[in-house]
Structure 1
Amino acid sequence: MTDTAKQTPIVDNRRSPLLVFSGQSNRPLAQSICDNLGIPLGKSSTEKFTNDNLIVRYEESLREGDIFIVQTFSTPVSDSIMELLMMIDAAKSASAGRVTAVIPYYSYARSDKKDSPRISIAGRLVADLLQEAGADRVLTMTLHAPQVHGFFKVPVDHLSADSVLAQHFRSCVDDASQGVVLAPDAGSIKRAAGIAHRLDAGLAMVDKQRISDTEVSPRAMIGDVEGKTVFIVDDEISTAGSLIETVDIARKMGARDVYVGVTHGVYTGPAIERIAALGVTQVASTNTVLVSEEKIAQADGKLAVLDVAPHFANAIRNIHTGESVSTLFN
């Protein structure tokens, strides 16, 4: 046996360095995540050429690092997705040890099935693109359709904002257990039931009927909200059209006060004007999507933004150290 064969292989047991970077869609959330982790936000830059092409560049070494890239799919969504794909690809090219895409709001989760002829199941397509770019793992929160989790062939950690919303509702009233958590449709009943359990409150649901491929109308209320404080919960608010219908039927059925809590406050189109005129005490969303100070001011004091950065920081810490993420759900 040669001397070379007898040599003991060099083994480096040091853990890969934890590095967190951010795209342009929600840098305040990324910075807050890093503050909770006690590390600086990684240095990177994104530029757009006059021909609308993007270029991303890391300004520090990523070699063998455990890289987490925070990018929410908010307006402009296509730019946000393209920037994330390029950041993942650049990180893999820079010899990153592992790359995790942290997507607080995965907007294409709404496109989870072929419910109309000749359309793309975009939720799966975007998942394929992320994996093709080189993502080794995905961390997200409150997918509109939980089955989108199955579109990925890499591990997906799916966080919940239920505890944050429940804690907020509890702080809004003297006794939340005397209230009723209202699901705006059958698809939201599981989420509503979980929050009702946390609050030890009642549970109700709006029964809806589909009028056409694009229109759904409330038909009846299942449960009792008369004289009660009602907590409406959903995964997101976009134009607030469905929210208006849910609030209207709750009021018609005798609800006393109405609070709204969602994970993703997208607030597009006429949403802010509708919320300002809506008969609710407050609409709360988390900071998975950046809500501008201008929108908060325009909503006549009805908007609240809740911080989920500690949830993402804890999940990133557990992923990095190899601990269970599911324990955080409790």
Structure 2
Amino acid sequence: MELFIMIDACRRASARSITVVIPYFGYARADRKAQGREAITAKLAANLLTEAGSDRVIVCDMHSAQALGYFDIPVDHIYGQPVILDYLASKTISKDLVVVSPDVGGVVRARAFAKKLSDAPLAIVDKRRQGHNLSEVMHLIGDVKGKVAIMVDDMIDTAGTITSGAALLKQEGAEAVYACCTHAVLSMQ
């Protein structure tokens, strides 16, 4: 609500243009109907930003790329990957590493990340969701034995996927596990 109040205040002060910077677009996961009588909240939030008077929006590592299409105004989508890569470069990490996607939906992100790390090999944690904010790790696709595993995701909410995935990677022989994300929501204790 505060964001809409600020946009309105800028409009009333005759701002020529208003660019809204939203590092974490919290409604991006609500980008489709999972069942009937459910709102598509990402679209609603995009509409509200436009109607409030925004001329442009900047978001960082949007959870769902399709939600970018919900805006009727220009959207700049920036990425946290360069910052994470700089951090990893400052660490003493073995050359023998593998980039791990914590789920099938993050494979494109993990593959892009792996390319930036000298085209490191890729592994995928296959999981099956048991409900909202709950996941169960099933098995690993790829080899992590004796390697440093770098798990990459856009957000960590309850940390269930990351912790279960890290446990699986250690069980499968990973030497060490790093977890990287742009948005640390950490909604559970």
**Same fold at TM > 0.5:** yes
Q: 1:214 to 1:164 in 2, by over 3 A?
A: closer
The residue aligned with 2:28 is: 109
2:91 matched to 1:159?
no
Moved more, 213-222 or 260-269: 213-222
Distance 2:133 2:83 in 1: 32
SS at match of 2:83: helix
The residue aligned with 2:176 is: 257
1:291-322: per-residue Cα shift (whole Å, max 9, x none)?
A: xxxxxxxxxxxxxxxxxxxxxxxxxxxxxxxx
The residue aligned with 2:40 is: 121
What are the within-5 Å matches in structure 2 for residues 219-258 of structure 1?
A: 219-258=138-177
Q: Which amino acid aligns with 1:134?
A: G
What are the within-5 Å matches in structure 2 for residues 174-213 of structure 1?
A: 174-175=93-94, 177-200=95-118, 201-212=120-131
What are the within-5 Å matches in structure 2 for residues 64-143 of structure 1?
A: 82-143=1-62
Give the TM-score normalised by structure 1. 0.55
Q: Which amino acid aligns with 1:146?
A: A
What are the within-5 Å matches in structure 2 for residues 306-321 of structure 1?
A: none
Moved more, 203-212 or 151-160: 203-212
The residue aligned with 1:308 is: none
Contact 1:178 1:202 in 2 (8 A): no
The residue aligned with 1:168 is: 87
1:76-131: per-residue Cα shift (whole Å, max 9, x none)?
A: xxxxxx00011111111111000001000001001000012221111111111000
1:191-241: per-residue Cα shift (whole Å, max 9, x none)?
A: 111111111122111112244566432221111000110111111112211
Pick 1 or 2: higher relative contact order, CA cutoff 8 A, min separation 6: 2
SS at match of 2:18: strand
**Structure 1: where are the runs of 5+ without partners?**
1-81, 271-330
Contact 1:137 1:154 in 2 (8 A): yes
Distance 1:265 1:85 in 2: 24
Q: Which amino acid aligns with 1:191?
A: R
1:20-52: per-residue Cα shift (whole Å, max 9, x none)?
A: xxxxxxxxxxxxxxxxxxxxxxxxxxxxxxxxx
Distance 1:220 1:266 in 2: 25
Identity of aligned pairs, percent? 41
Distance 1:196 1:110 in 2: 24
| Greater than 6 Å deviation, 4+ residue runs | none
SS at match of 1:260: strand
Give the TM-score normalised by structure 2. 0.94
Q: What's the offset of the Cα at 1:267?
A: 2.0
SS at match of 2:174: coil
Q: What's the offset of the Cα at 1:174?
A: 4.1
Q: For this pair of structures, how many residues does the alignment match?
A: 188
Contact 1:169 1:231 in 2 (8 A): no
The residue aligned with 1:218 is: 137
